[in-house]
Structure 1
Amino acid sequence: MELQAELTGHLERVWCVSWNKAGNLLASCSGDKTIRIWGKEGNNWVCKTILTDSHNRTIRRVAWSPCGQFLASASFDATTCIWDRRSGEFECTATLEGHENEVKSVTWAPSGNFLATCSRDKSVWVWDVDQEDDDFQCAGVLTSHSEDVKNIRWHPEKEVLASCSYDNSLRLFHEDDDDWISFAKLEGHESTVWDFAFNKTGNRIASCSDDKSIKIWQEYLPGNDEGIATPEGVSKWKCVCTLSGHHQRAVYSIDWCHLTGMIATACGDDAVRIFLEDGTALDQRNEPSFYPINIKHQAHREDVNCVSWNPTEAGLLASCGDDGSIKLWKVPTN
C-alpha cells in the first residue's frame, strides 16, 4: 500500500471522505464545520473549494448524488444541507430539519429519487427528492432501532435501505404500499455496528463493529438452493463469515470495492487493512473465507475514521482520521 498524497487543511478531525461517481472529486468533512472538495490538477491533488457557513457544529458525513450535481452534508447540529453545483459553484439550496439530535449519516438512492438520513435520536428518515425544484419531502420515519443509528447505505441496484446501530444490529428497509418498513434484522455483533458496505451486486454485506470483528452477510432469495426459509417471500440474510483477531480496537469504517472485490477497514488502532476473498474455498457462497492482503500500520497518527474506494480507478483508496489529514493510497490489485 503506497501513499499517493496527503491532503491537509482541515483544522480538526476529519470524519468522512466521499468520492463522486466519476471518481475525479473527493469531498471531506470535519469537526471544523467545513466541507472541502478536492480534485486533481496535473499530478497533484488540491483543494478546489471550501464550503462554510452551512452548519454550526461538526459535519459528520458527506454524500454525492448519483448525478454528481448535488452534495448532502449531515451535521451534529441536527440538520442536513443540500449543496447544488449546477451553476458551476456550490450553493446550499435546502436545509432538511426534523431529527431531534445529531444527524450521523446521509445517503442517496442509486436512482437519485430518495435521500436517507439517520440520527442519534434512533430514527432513520427517508426523503422524496425533486431535484428540479430543490424539494425534499419526508416519505417515512423509521424507528426500528432502539439506539443511536450510526450509518445508512442504499443497496447498489435496488431501492432498499440498510442501517446499523449502537443496538448491535443492522436493519434492511423497503417501500411497501407507500410506507417504508423494516423487512430484515441482522444480529450477531456483540457491540456497536459502526459501518457496513454492500458488494457490487448487493447480495452480500460486510459489517464492522466495536467488537473488533468484520462479518459477511449473505442474502438468500426465495426458492434458494440451500432450502433456507424465506417467510412471506422476503429475502433472508445470514452471517456466513466472521473475521476476528485482525483489529486491535474498534473498526469504524468499511468499504467494499466494486472494481476489485477488496474490502478496506479503518480502525481505532490507527491502521488501514485490506481483505480479499479466498477464491479457492470449497463453498464460496455459504462458507466463504477472507484473508488480509495488506495492512498499513500508523496510516494516520490517530484513529482512522473512514475509508472510501475510488469508483473508477482500481486500487485507489481514500482515508481520513482524527489527525485532521486525508490520505490517498494506491493498493496493488494483483
Structure 2
Amino acid sequence: MTTNKHLVASLLHTIATHTSDVNSVAFSPDRQLATASGDKTVRLWDTSDFTELSASPLVGHAYYVHCCTFSPFGTTLATCSTDGKLILWDVKSGSKVSTFQHSSKQSIRVCRFSPDSKYIVSGSDDETLALWDVTAKTLVRSYNTCHDASVVACAFTPDSTFIISGSSNGDLRVWDAKYGHGKVLTYTLEGHDLGVTSCDFSPHMKVKDSGVDGCVTYEFATSGHDNLVKIWEMTADLSCTSVVLSHKLTCKGHEGTVNFCCFSSDGNLLASASIDKTVRVWDPYCGQELCVVEGHTRYVTSCAFSSDSRLLASGSNDKLVMIWKITTQEDCIENYKEPQTAPNAKKKDAPRLIESWSAEEVGDWLQQIDLSQYKDTFVSNAIDGTELCNMTDRMLIDLGVAALGHRNKIFRCIKTTQNKPTVSRSVSNLSDNGIPDEYLCPITRELMKDPVMAEDGYTYERSAIQGWIDKGKDTSPMTSIPLKTKQLIPNRSLKMLIQHYLESGK
C-alpha cells in the first residue's frame, strides 16, 4: 500500500526537562515515551497528558546514555551508555532487571530487542555485536569477527531470524540470530560512504514457499554521514542460510548527516533525523518526501513513531524533545479548528498570539497552569504577553518565583502556548544544578577544573578523557569517530571563564 498524500506535522508538546543532549527517543506499544540523554538519565512520559511517570527518571548510567528501546510488549526498557553498560529496566517500577556488559567494557552505542522478546542485541566501540538472552540474562554469543570500526547500528528482521549491523566505516553485515551460526552471512562495503548511523527493518515480509526450504525477502532502511537514507531488500534462502543484499532506492533531501531512521509500525512511513535540524518523513515505497518537520535549533539526533503512527517524537542536541501530530493535508482541512486564543478572548474574537496578551490575561494564564500565587505580582509589574515571552530565569527569580520547578513549568508552558521552540538562553544553557552546561565535562557531567580539548573538538576534564584513553579506547566518547592523536590541548580560555564563574559566586 502506498500513501501519496503529503503529510502535515503540527507541534503537540515540547519536553524541556533534560539538561544535556537528547540522544534517543522511543515509544512503547501503549504510547508511553522514553527519552535518553547525555545528562545520564532516562525519563518516561505519559503521552496522554505529557506528565512524567512515577518510575521516572531512571538513574543508573555513569556517562552519556546513547540509546533507549522498549521491548515488544512495552514492559521492559533497554538503555546503553558510554559507561559500557546495557541495562534492562522494569518500566512500571523503574527498577533494574539486569545489567549486561561487553567483555571489553567499551561504550555500547546501540541496542535492539528481537520482535519475539527473547533476545536483545548490542553494538559497541569494541567493533563487536553481542546477543543476550533476556530471560536467562546470559550472553548467547558474541560476533567477534565483526566490523573494523564501532558498531553504531543494528536491528532484527521481523521474524527474529537475522540481525543486520552497520559500522562507522560504512559497511553492513548480516548475522544469524536463530540457528547458532556465529560467522557473518553476507556483507556489503558500500552501505554509506562516510559511515552508517542507523538501520531499521520494515514489518513487511515477502515469503515464498514457507518452511525450512523457503525464501524470505525483507525490506530495511539505513542512514549515514553521506546525507542519505537508503532502502534495501534482503533476500534469504532458508534452505542454506544464504543471504543477498540489494539496494532498492535512495531518499535524498537532507543537507547534513542523517543520524537516525525508523519505520512506522505499519511500514507505510519512514522518518529520518538529521544534523540539518529537520526530521523528514518519506514514502518508503517510492522514496517520495512527504513532510519536512522543522522546529529544533540544533542537530536532531533521533526520532520515533507511536504505535498508531499518529505521533512522531524527535530528540535533539538543543536538549528538547518535541512531539508532533502527523496528519494528511486533507485531514487538516476537514478537522480545522481555530488556534488557541488568549485566556479571556471571546469565541468571536480573532485568534491572538501570546505576545499580544495584556497583563491581566497573563495573570489568568498563570491561574490556568496552577500558578495563581504569582498572578498579582505579574499583573502589578505589568508583565504582558511580550514581556512574558522575553522572560529569563533571573527575571522570574526577581518576581518571586523562587522554586526551580515553577520557573521551568512557566518556560515549558510558554513554549507550548507559542507552539514553537523558543527557549530562553539563560535556561537552556544551564544544567540541573544551575551550572552553565559548557562548564561541565561531557563524560562526568561535573564542573571542570582542568579542561582540555581532544582531537574531536570537544573539551573534557583532563582526568576523565585521560582515563578514557588509558583504558585503550581510541574513539571519541562523543562521536565514536577514531581519535588519530591522543594529544590533549589545555583550554585556557574556558578555564578562566570557569574560575571567574566560581569567584563571582553565581
TM bucket normalised to smaller: 0.7 to 0.9
Match of 1:195 in 2: 198
Match of 1:211 in 2: 226
CA contact (8 A) 1:34 1:50 kept: no
Match of 1:82 in 2: 88
CA contact (8 A) 1:260 1:315 kept: no
Q: How does 1:269-308 map to 2 (within 5 A)?
A: 269-277=276-284, 289-297=286-294, 299-308=295-304
Residues 160-207 of structure 1, C-alpha deviations (whole Å, 9 max, x = no match)? 211111120121111465343321213322111001111122511111
Match of 2:320 in 1: 325
Of residues 174, 178, 189 in structure 2, which corresponds to 1:172? 174
> How far apart in 1 are the matches of 2:236 and 2:84?
37
Structure with the larger helix share: 2
Amino acid aligned to 2:319:
G
Of residues 11, 21, 29 in structure 1, which corresponds to 2:19? 11
55-64 vs 158-167, which moves further? 158-167
In structure 1, the residue corresponding to 2:127 is in which secondary structure? coil
Deviation at 1:50, TM superposition (A): 2.4
> How far apart in 1 are the matches of 2:248 and 2:239?
20
Amino acid aligned to 2:16:
T
CA contact (8 A) 1:186 1:238 kept: no
In structure 1, the residue corresponding to 2:56 is in which secondary structure? strand
> How far apart in 2 are the matches of 1:176 and 1:94?
23
Match of 2:305 in 1: 309
Deviation at 1:219, TM superposition (A): 2.4
Residues 21-42 of structure 1, C-alpha deviations (whole Å, 9 max, x = no match)? 22x211111000011001035x
> How far apart in 2 are the matches of 1:96 and 1:277?
35
Change (3 A) 1:120 1:260: closer
CA contact (8 A) 1:140 1:179 kept: no
Of residues 42, 46, 52 in structure 1, which corresponds to 2:51? 46
> How far apart in 2 are the matches of 1:315 and 1:18?
14
Of residues 63, 68, 91 in structure 1, which corresponds to 2:74? 68
Structure of higher RCO (CA pairs closer than 8 Å, 6+ residues apart): 1
Amino acid aligned to 1:198:
F
CA contact (8 A) 2:78 2:88 kept: yes
Deviation at 1:325, TM superposition (A): 0.8
Match of 2:269 in 1: 262
CA contact (8 A) 1:252 1:268 kept: yes
Match of 2:6 in 1: none
Amino acid aligned to 2:97:
T
- Whether 2:163 is the aligned partner of 1:161: answer yes
CA contact (8 A) 2:29 2:74 kept: yes
Deviation at 1:233, TM superposition (A): 5.3
CA contact (8 A) 2:161 2:178 kept: no
Change (3 A) 1:138 1:295: same
Amino acid aligned to 1:76:
T
- Whether 2:154 is the aligned partner of 1:152: answer yes
Structure 1 gaps of 5+ residues are 223-229, 279-288
Residues 198-224 of structure 1, C-alpha deviations (whole Å, 9 max, x = no match)? 1122511111110111111112354xx
TM-score normalised by structure 2 residue count: 0.57
Amino acid aligned to 2:221:
A
In structure 2, the residue corresponding to 1:180 is in which secondary structure? coil
Change (3 A) 1:47 1:272: same
> How far apart in 1 are the matches of 2:181 and 2:244?
21
Of residues 223, 239, 247 in structure 2, which corresponds to 1:239? 247
CA RMSD, aligned part only? 2.0
Structure with the larger strand share: 1
CA contact (8 A) 2:58 2:94 kept: no
Amino acid aligned to 1:149:
V
> How far apart in 2 are the matches of 1:101 and 1:247?
31
In structure 2, the residue corresponding to 1:50 is in which secondary structure? coil
Change (3 A) 1:181 1:6: same
In structure 1, the residue corresponding to 2:134 is in which secondary structure? strand
Match of 1:93 in 2: 97
Deviation at 1:157, TM superposition (A): 2.2
- Whether 2:129 is the aligned partner of 1:124: answer yes
Structure 2 gaps of 5+ residues are 1-8, 206-217, 331-506
CA contact (8 A) 2:123 2:154 kept: yes
> How far apart in 2 are the matches of 1:265 and 1:160?
23
Number of paired residues? Answer: 305
